[in-house]
C-alpha cells in the first residue's frame, strides 16, 4: 500500500503551486534519471524543547541503520561504496574525466543504496574504465584497502561492478526461474528458492496471533549444508548498527512524550536486543495505539518488496510529527467513514455494515532513513501484519511536507505547459492541484482501502497476480468518485464545487498519457500502480458516449509539415474533458465493477480488465510522450536531502535548543553519513 504513494509522488512533479519559500533551495542537483530535492520541516520551531530533543535522538537512531540497507540490497554494496568513497577522497585530479564519471556513479550508488537502480532493479554499470579504477584504487591507504577487499578480493569486487552478467537484477520477480538464485539481494545466502520455501513452510506460525517468521533474518546455508537463520539483532547479524540504534532509542526513551510512547520505544529496544518476533508484535500493537503523541517514527525491518519471496523486511526509518492543521482534514473524513461507505456506487451486498475507523493523520517528515531515503513515499500505511490490522487497526499517514516539496520543485518546470490542453487546465492545476492531490491521497488511504467487504469464502489472494492492480484501482476510484461529491464541500474539505476538476484532469492525462514517460520504448506496463492508473483512464476512454464523449484524446497539429521534403506535420495529443460530471458517473460505474470483482474474487474478470486496459501501450503515443518529455529535460525519479539537526547546549551540557539547517549539499551529506553513521563491517 505504501508503494503506491511512493509512485504517486513521482507523478506529482507536474503540479504547480503558488507558495514558495525563498530561503530554501528545493532543487539541488540532477544526474542520470534522478533529481535531488530538499524538503523543509515547517512548524519545527514551534515544537517544545522536549519534542525537538526527541526528534533529534530519533533521527540519530534513523541514520545509524543506513549501512544495513546497503548490505541487504547486495552483499557487495558496502565494499563498492567504501572503495568509491576512498577514491573520491584520495584521487588527486578532481577534474579528470574518469574521476568525474566515477563521481556521477557514486552519486547514483548513494541514491540507490547500492549498485542496482532503486526503481527498475537493474544493475547500472560504471561509465569510467576498469583500468582507470584499478589504478585509482592503489592510491587508497593499504590497510583500508585490505579491510574493504576482505576475502573476496579486489578483482571479484570489480567483476561485480563492471560485468553486466554478474548479479544483474536486485529483486527478480520473473516467472519460471529460481528467484533467489537470480536475485542480487542479500536476504538469502546459497539457498535455492525451494529450500527457502520449505524452510518457511516448516517454521510457519499457524496460531491466531502469528509471529512473522523471517521478517528480521537472513537464511544461509553453512559449510555442512545446514540452513541457519541469522537474526538481525544486537549481537547477531547487523548487531553493530542495531546497537547504535538502541543507544539513541534509549536516549529518546528519556524524553518521550507520554507512557504509551515510552512503551513503543521500550518494546522496540527490547526487540532490537533480542530479535524476538513476539516482542515485535507487541511493539507493533503499541505503535498502532499511540495516537496522542505529536512525534512518531518508524525504525526497523518494515516493507518486504526487496525480498523476492516477500518475507524479510528492508531496514527503514522515518521520524515525523503531526501537522495539526492538515490533520483536521483527515479526522473529518474518518468521522464520516460510514457515510462514505453507505453512499458509494457499489452494490449493497458488497458494502461493510460497519466500517472500522482508520486512524489517519497528516505529518511532516523530520528525517528520512534506510529504505525511505533518499527516495521516499508520500504516505504510509502500517503495520503489515493482517491480524494486527484486523484486531487493532492501522495507522495511515500522508506526508505533507514531502508533497509540498515536490510541488515547489515542480514550479515552472514546463510540464503542465507542454502536456495540458490549454491555459484553463494549467490555471486550474495551479490553483487547486496541490490541495486536490492531497485530498485524493487521503481518500485513497483513509477510506478507499478500508471500504467494501469480501463475500464469505473469498480471499484477497483469489485475484492472484492481478490482486494489487485491482486493489489500487479500487482505492483510487473510491477517492476519485468522492473528491467530486458535494459532501466534500459541505465538510469543508474542498473549497468549492469545481476544485475536483483539477484532480480529474490530471488523473486522466497521467493515466492515459504522461505516465508513459517513465517506461522504456517497447516495454509494457508492469508495475501494479501504473497499471491501475492506465486501467482507469483507458476504461473510461473506451466507455464514453460516442455521440457526445465525456472525455477524449484529441490530436492537434502544432507545426506545418513540408510535403516537398517529406516532413509530416507535427501532431500533439492532448486530453480533453468535455463533461466532468459525466466523467464522475463513469468513475462510479467502474468502481462498482472493481468492487464486485474484489468482493466475489472474480479472477477471470480481473484478468480481462487488466489485460485489455492496463498492460499494453500504444507505441506511437508512447514515442510522442517520450519525445515531448525529453525536451523538458526533467528527471523522472526524485529523492531528498535531509536537514541537519544540531543540539545547542549550555555550559553544563544540557540541551537548550535543536538547530535545523538546510544548506548541506548532496555529496557532502552522504560523505558525512558514511563517516559518522557507518558502524557495519564491510562484510557481514
- Kindly report the number of other CB atoms within 10 A of residue 217's CB atom: 22
Rounded to an integer, what distance in angstroms lies between the CA atom of residue 669 and that of residue 388? 37
Angstrom distance (rounded) from CA 158 to CA 83 = 10
Instruction: Compute the least distance from the CB of residue 371 to Zn ion, in Å.
Output: 17
Give min distance, CB of 187 to Zn ion, in A: 24
Closest CB 12 distance from Zn ion, rounded Å:
15
| 3-state helix, strand and coil shares in percent for the chain, rounded to the nearest 5 | 50, 15, 35
From the list 114-122, 189-197, 474-482, 629-637, the region that binds Zn ion by CB under 5 A is 474-482
Between β-strands 315-322 and 359-370, what pairing exists: parallel, antiparallel or unpaired? antiparallel
CA distance 175 to 186: 20
Q: Is 136 in the site for Zn ion (CB under 5 A)?
A: no
In terms of CB distance, is 398 or 400 closer to Zn ion?
A: 398
- Least Å from the CB of residue 69 to Zn ion: 23
How many residues bind to Zn ion according to rule CB under 5 A? 3
Are 590 and 540 in contact by the 8 Å Cβ rule? The answer is yes
The nearest distance, CB 449 to Zn ion, in angstroms, is 6
Selected binder of Zn ion within 10, 68, 475, 597 (CB under 5 A): 475
Backbone angles phi, psi at 30, to 5 degrees: -125, 140
Binding segment for Zn ion among 3-11, 109-117, 275-283, 643-651 (CB under 5 A)? Answer: 3-11
What is the nearest approach in angstroms of Zn ion to the Cβ of residue 334?
Answer: 17
The CB-side HSE value for 617 (13 A sphere, CA atoms) comes to 26
Residue 157 interacts with Zn ion (CB under 5 A)? no
The single residue among 4, 180, 265, 382 that binds Zn ion, judged by CB under 5 A, is 4
400 vs 441 by CB, closer to Zn ion: 441
Pinpoint the alpha helices (H) of 173-274. 193-203, 239-254, 259-274
Per-residue contact flags (x/-) with Zn ion for residues 593 to 632, judged by CB under 5 A: ----------------------------------------
Q: Which residue is nearest to Zn ion (CB)?
A: 4
DSSP state, 539? H
DSSP 429-466: HHHHHHHHHHHHHHIIIIIITT-S-PPTT--GGGGGGG
Q: Kindly indicate which of the ranges 17-25, 98-106, 307-315, 475-483 contains the residues binding Zn ion, using the contact rule CB under 5 A.
A: 475-483
Stretch that binds Zn ion, among 1-9, 424-432, 558-566, 675-683 (CB under 5 A): 1-9
The number of angstroms, rounded, from the C-alpha of 554 to the middle of its chain's C-alpha atoms is 33
Instruction: Please say which residue, 111 or 478, places its beta carbon nearer to Zn ion.
Output: 478
How far apart are alpha carbons 675 and 672 in whole angstroms? 5
Please identify, using beta-carbon distances, which residue of 77 and 330 lies nearer to Zn ion: 330
Q: Report phi then psi at 224, rounded to 5.
A: -90, 5
Q: Residue 124 Cβ, how far from Zn ion at the closest point, in Å?
A: 29
- Binding range to Zn ion, per CB under 5 A, among 2-10, 13-21, 405-413, 673-681: 2-10
**Taking contact as CB under 5 A, which single stretch among the options 106-114, 229-237, 469-477, 569-577 is the one that binds Zn ion?**
469-477
Closest distance to Zn ion from the beta carbon of 594 (Å): 13
Q: Which is nearer to Zn ion, 72 or 438 (CB)?
A: 438
Minimum distance, C-beta of residue 258 to Zn ion, in the bound complex (Å):
30
Cell of 474: 479500487
DSSP state of 261: H
Residue 106's φ and ψ, nearest 5 degrees, are -60, -40
- Judged by CB, which is closer to Zn ion: 6, or 157? 6
- If the CB atoms of residues 172 and 359 are measured against Zn ion, the closer one turns out to be 359
Q: Which is nearer to Zn ion, 295 or 606 (CB)?
A: 606
- Grid coordinates standing for 676? 559518522
The three-class DSSP label of residue 554 is strand
Q: Which is nearer to Zn ion, 63 or 528 (CB)?
A: 528
Q: How far is the CB of 378 from Zn ion (least distance, A)?
A: 11
Span 62-81, contacts to Zn ion by CB under 5 A: none
Question: In whole angstroms, what is the distance from residue 188 CA to residue 391 CA?
Answer: 32
- Gap between the Cα atoms of 278 and 269, Å rounded: 13
User: At closest approach, how far in Å is the CB of 539 from Zn ion?
Assistant: 18
For 549-554, which contacts have Cβ atoms below 8 Å and span 24 or more sequence positions? 549/578, 550/577, 550/578, 550/579, 550/582, 550/583, 550/585, 550/586, 551/508, 551/575, 551/576, 551/577, 551/578, 551/579, 551/582, 551/583, 551/586, 552/576, 552/578, 553/512, 553/513, 554/421
- CB-CB neighbours of 571 under 10 Å: 13
Cβ-based nearer residue to Zn ion, 475 or 594: 475
Nearer to Zn ion by Cβ, of 84 and 475: the residue is 475
Nearer to Zn ion, 87 or 475 (CB): 475
Binding region for Zn ion (CB under 5 A) out of 18-26, 426-434, 470-478, 588-596? 470-478
CB of 471 to Zn ion, least distance (A): 7
Q: Which CA distances in Å does 497 have to 97, 436, 444, 602?
A: 57, 12, 20, 36
The nearest distance, CB 475 to Zn ion, in angstroms, is: 5
Residue 415 to residue 595: CA distance in whole angstroms: 34
Nearest to 322 by CA among 293, 283, 285, 358: 293
Query: In this complex, which beta carbon is closest to Zn ion, that of residue 532 or of residue 682?
Result: 532
Residues 416-455, one symbol each (x = binds Zn ion by CB under 5 A, - = not), give ----------------------------------------
Q: What backbone phi and psi angles, to 5 degrees, belong to 120?
A: -90, -5
Dist. CA 400–CA 12, nearest whole Å: 12
Q: Which is nearer to Zn ion, 4 or 256 (CB)?
A: 4
Q: What DSSP line would sit under 609-627, residue for residue?
A: HIIIIIS---HHHHHHHHH
Span from 198-206, 281-289, 293-301, 473-481 in contact with Zn ion (CB under 5 A): 473-481
CB of 112 to Zn ion, least distance (A): 24
Q: Could you tell me the strand order of the sheet in which 359-370 lies?
A: 295-301, 315-322, 359-370, 395-399, 379-382
Q: Which residue has the cell 490555471?
A: 427
Comparison of 184 and 355: residue with beta carbon closer to Zn ion: 355
Among residues 469 and 514, whose Cβ is nearest to Zn ion?
Answer: 469
CA–CA distance, 448 with 338 (Å, rounded to integer): 12
Residues 416, 437: Cα–Cα separation, whole Å: 15
Is 1 among the residues that bind Zn ion (CB under 5 A)?
yes
What are 222's three cell numbers?
A: 553453512
Instruction: Measure the CA–CA gap between 597 and 462, rounded to whole angstroms.
Output: 10
* Closest CB 5 distance from Zn ion, rounded Å: 7
CB of 267 to Zn ion, least distance (A): 27
- Interface residue list for Zn ion (CB under 5 A): 1, 4, 475
Amino acid at each position: 500500500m505504501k508503494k503506491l504513494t511512493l509512485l504517486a509522488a513521482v507523478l506529482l512533479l507536474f503540479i504547480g503551486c503558488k507558495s514558495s519559500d525563498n530561503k530554501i533551495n528545493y532543487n539541488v542537483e540532477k544526474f542520470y534519471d534522478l533529481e535531488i530535492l530538499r524538503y523543509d520541516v515547517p512548524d519545527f520551531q514551534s515544537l517544545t524543547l522536549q519534542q525537538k530533543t526527541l526528534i533529534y535522538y530519533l533521527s540519530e537512531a534513523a541514520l545509524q541503520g543506513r549501512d544495513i540497507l546497503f548490505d541487504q540490497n547486495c552483499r557487495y554494496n558496502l565494499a563498492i561504496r567504501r572503495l568509491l568513497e576512498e577514491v573520491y577522497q584520495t584521487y588527486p585530479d578532481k577534474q579528470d574525466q574518469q574521476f568525474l564519471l566515477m563521481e556521477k556513479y557514486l552519486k547514483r550508488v548513494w541514491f540507490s543504496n547500492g549498485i542496482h537502480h532503486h526503481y527498475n532493479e537493474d544493475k547500472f554499470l560504471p561509465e569510467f574504465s576498469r583500468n582507470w579504477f584499478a589504478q585509482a584504487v592503489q592510491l587508497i591507504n593499504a590497510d583500508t584497502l585490505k579491510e574493504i577487499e576482505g576475502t573476496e578480493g579486489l578483482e571479484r569486487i570489480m567483476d561485480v561492478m563492471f560485468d553486466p552478467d554478474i548479479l544483474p537484477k536486485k529483486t527478480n520477480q520473473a516467472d519460471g526461474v529460481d528467484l533467489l538464485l537470480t536475485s542480487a539481494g542479500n536476504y538469502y545466502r546459497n539457498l535455492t528458492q525451494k529450500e527457502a520455501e520449505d524452510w518457511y513452510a516448516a517454521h510457519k506460525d499457524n496460531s491466531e496471533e502469528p509471529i512473522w517468521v523471517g521478517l528480521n533474518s537472513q537464511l544461509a546455508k553453512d559449510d555442512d549444508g545446514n540452513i541457519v537463520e541469522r537474526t538481525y539483532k544486537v549481537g547477531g547479524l547487523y548487531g553493530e548498527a542495531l546497537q547504535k540504534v538502541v543507544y539513541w532509542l534509549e536516549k529518546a526513551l528519556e524524553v518521550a512524550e507520554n507512557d504509551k510512547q515510552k512503551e513503543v520505544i521500550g518494546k522496540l529496544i527490547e526487540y532490537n536486543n533480542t530479535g524476538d518476533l513476539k516482542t515485535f508484535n507487541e511493539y507493533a500493537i503499541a505503535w498502532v495505539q499511540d495516537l496522542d503523541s505529536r512525534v512518531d517514527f518508524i525504525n526497523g525491518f518494515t516493507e518486504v518488496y526487496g525480498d523476492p519471496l516477500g518475507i524479510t523486511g528492508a531496514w527503514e526509518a522515518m521520524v515525523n510529527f503531526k501537522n495539526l492543521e492538515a490533520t483536521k482534514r483527515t479526522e473529518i473524513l474518518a468521522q464520516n467513514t460510514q457515510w462514505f461507505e453507505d453512499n458509494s456506487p457499489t452494490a449493497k451486498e458488497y458494502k461493510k455494515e460497519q466500517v472500522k475507523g482508520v486512524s489517519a493523520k497528516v505529518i511532516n517528515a523530520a528525517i528520512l532513513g534506510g529504505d525511505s531515503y533518499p527516495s521516499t513515499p508520500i504516505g504510509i500505511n502500517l503495520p503489515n501484519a493482517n491480524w494486527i490490522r484486523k484486531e487493532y487497526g492501522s495507522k495511515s499517514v500522508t506526508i505533507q511536507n514531502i508533497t509540498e516539496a515536490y510541488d515547489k520543485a515542480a514550479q515552472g518546470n514546463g510540464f503542465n505547459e507542454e502536456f495540458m490542453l490549454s491555459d484553463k487546465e494549467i490555471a486550474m492545476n495551479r490553483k487547486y492541484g496541490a490541495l486536490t492531490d492531497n485530498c485524493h491521497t487521503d481518500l485513497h488511504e483513509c477510506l478507499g482501502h478500508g471500504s467494501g467487504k469480501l463475500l464469505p469464502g473469498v480471499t484477497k489472494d483469489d485475484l492472484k497476480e492481478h490482486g494489487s492492480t485491482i486493489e489500487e484501482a479500487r482505492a483510487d476510484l473510491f477517492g476519485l468518485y468522492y473528491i467530486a461529491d458535494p459532501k466534500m464541500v459541505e465538510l469543508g474539505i474542498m473549497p468549492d464545487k469545481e476544485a475536483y476538476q483539477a484532480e480529474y484532469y490530471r488523473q486522466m492525462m497521467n493515466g492515459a498519457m504522461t505516465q508513459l514517460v517513465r517506461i522504456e520504448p517497447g516495454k509494457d506496463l508492469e508495475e501494479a500502480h501504473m497499471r491501475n492508473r492506465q486501467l482507469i483512464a483507458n476504461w473510461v476512454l473506451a466507455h464514453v458516449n460516442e455521440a457526445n464523449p465525456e472525455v477524449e484524446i484529441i490530436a492537434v497539429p502544432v507545426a506545418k509539415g513540408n510535403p516537398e521534403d517529406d516532413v509530416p506535420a507535427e501532431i500533439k495529443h492532448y486530453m480533453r474533458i468535455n463533461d466532468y460530471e459525466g466523467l464522475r458517473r463513469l468513475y462510479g460505474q467502474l468502481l462498482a465493477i472493481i468492487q464486485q470483482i474484489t468482493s466475489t474474487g472474480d479472477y477471470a474478470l480481473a484478468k480481462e480488465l487488466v489485460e485489455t486496459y492496463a498492460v499494453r501501450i500504444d507505441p506511437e503515443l508512447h514515442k510522442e510522450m517520450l519525445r515531448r518529455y525529453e525536451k523538458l529535460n526533467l528527471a523522472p525519479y526524485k529523492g531528498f536531502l535531509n536537514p541537519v539537526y544540531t543540539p545547542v547546549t549550555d555550559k553544563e551540557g544540557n540541551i537548550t535548543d535543536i538547530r535545523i539547517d538546510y544548506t548541506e549539499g548532496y555529496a557532502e551529506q552522504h560523505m558525512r553519513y558514511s563517516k559518522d553513521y557507518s558502524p557495519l563491517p564491510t562484510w557481514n
